[in-house]
Amino acid sequence: MNKYISTEELLRENERLKAIIALLEENAPQKKYGLVWEKEADKEHFLTEALFLKEVLNKRIFTAEQAPVNWLIEGDNYQSLSILLRTHRQKVDVIYIDPPYNTGNRDFKFTDTFSDNDSTYRHSRWIAFIEKRLRLAKQLLSPAGVIFISIDDTELAQTKLLCDEIFGEKNFVANFIRKCKTGSGHDSGKIAIEFDYMLCYAKDSTKQKFNKQTLNVEKDDKYRHTDQFVAHRGKYYLRDLDYKGTYSPSLDYPIQAPDGSELWPGGAYGRPNTWRWSREKVEWGIKNDFIVFKPTARQWKVYIKQYQYVDNQDKKRVRQLPHRAMIEFINSKGSNELKDILHEDIFTHPKPVDLIKFIIDLVPGNNLTILDFFAGSGTTGHAVLSVNQEKGTNHQFILCTNNENNICEKVCYERLKKVITGYETRSGRYIKGTNGNLTYWKVVEV
């Protein structure tokens, strides 16, 4: 057996090692942890100064004099974002994007080449593509702005690391887990995949607040008891006053039962139990009928009345909780919505309108500027128009999409036009228009 390596093989191995060292040296000074990709996969170049927006006047729609003017921009979204920096830097309140998931099924084209599962630069191309767009998007966000990014398992990990780098890990808000399919969901030969994700980042988490979910206390079965205060306080349920949590000596004191006996949290003084309320608050609760004593086999139990319409100070309140990150908005509904408007099945997996309404409802304000630079079939615009109609808000949308396969002109624009002016569904039901104003722009080079 030949134990020697030829000179040619040594030279080839030397060149290979030199290339690896060069790559390591290039990235080592820049970061110690995070996402690293082949930057040479990025081939997009253009002169920002030479790009402008030109309005297509015959596509203008104006049906509501006092409503904001919405924008639909036809063109490469990287170019569109670069132009928007001149007019909307730090002025966008909400960004939602649904970028290509890079599944390898010809859903992502980079510099006119589809990315497939066997591509050497498959993930690098996608990261290079999305990274530049997210950096521009960050500059468009207002100080209290927030971005939502739909994604699936293919690029979730990479997108999370990339967003941590661009927006800052401290500005991560949530990873919404969305049930997007019903039934079997057998896309995989191993596990049924019925979920995708929506990453949420704030421009500055210290400035961004979110609306809470209003609880429907009328339909909450746990409120089932009534008393003489029902007209003002509503129904109530009983909460145990005895609490096993963070111990505080000031909340560990005796309460006198109706028979004169002393009751202690947990049955005796000392850790771990306390009362939920202070001594003064309990006295107030007994006097105002917020406290209930119930006999047991051994002693008494003490309860708080938790009412539907008032807080624990007898003041009117709307009961709210933070929204949950586990959500359900089914893709098939989005497909049916689009088919009802255009009467054609011409777009793959459009997001349902309710998903974007959910996002809008999360963010405080009645005059939000909402950007979607992967507008596709126009779901975001549809949602904004619907929310404005239903709630009397004055949100404005800016949609950016290319016109590959006439998606901007024949799908996105036609959908928005029909939503604004009214349309007939496939079953013949007429849907009244939302009214609104729309301008159509093209990215041009001069």
pLDDT of 215: 83
- Residues 250 and 390 grouped into a single domain: no
Lowest model confidence (mean pLDDT) among 23-32, 54-63, 340-349, 411-420: 23-32
Q: Are residues 114 and 194 in the same domain?
A: yes
Which of 217, 182, 186, 122 has the alpha carbon at shortest distance from 352? 182
| pTM greater than the 0.75 cutoff | yes
> Of all residues in the chain, what percent carry a pLDDT higher than 70?
89
Q: 1 lies in a domain?
A: no
pLDDT, average across residues 96-108: 76
- Judged against a pLDDT cut of 60, whether residue 108 lies above it is answered with no
Measured CA to CA in angstroms, residue 409 lies from 71, 73, 107, 312, 401 at distances of 13, 10, 20, 56, 10
112, pLDDT greater than 50: no
Relative to beta strand 195-202, strand 172-179 is antiparallel
Q: What is the pLDDT of residues 207-217, one digit of tens each?
A: 999 999 888 88
**Whether 135 and 83 share a structural domain:** yes
For residues 68 and 208, state if they share a domain. yes
Task: Answer with the residue of higher pLDDT: 30 or 331.
Answer: 331
User: Where is pLDDT greater, at 46 or 295?
Assistant: 295
The tens digit of pLDDT for each residue in 332-373 reads 999 999 999 999 888 778 899 999 999 999 999 999 999 999
Residue 381 lies in a domain: yes
Other Cβ atoms less than 10 A from the Cβ of 205: the count is 16
The single-letter code of the amino acid at 9 is E
175 shares a domain with 139? yes
Same domain, 35 and 45: no
2 found inside a domain: no
Pair (62, 176) in one structural domain: yes
Asked, for residue 273, whether it belongs to a domain, the answer is: yes
Q: Which of 107, 128, 105 is nearest to 118 (CA)?
A: 105
Domain total in the chain: 3
Would you say residue 291 lies in a domain? Answer: yes
Q: Decide if 318 contacts 214 (C-beta within 8 A).
A: yes
User: What range does the domain containing 14 cover?
Assistant: 7-39
Q: Are residues 432 and 337 in the same domain?
A: yes
Model confidence over 268-326: pLDDT tens digits?
888 899 999 999 999 999 999 999 999 988 889 999 999 999 998 899 988 888 999 99
CATH number of residue 142's parent domain: 3.40.50.150
Asked if 367 contacts 387 with a C-beta cutoff of 8 angstroms, the reply is no
192 and 128 in a single domain? The answer is yes
Residue 256 within a domain: yes
Residues 279, 335, single domain; the answer is no
Residue-wise pLDDT tens digits, 119-134: 657 788 889 899 999 9
Q: What are phi and psi of 269, to 5 degrees?
A: -65, 140
- Name the average pLDDT for the chain: 89
What residues does 74 pair with on adjacent strands? 401, 442
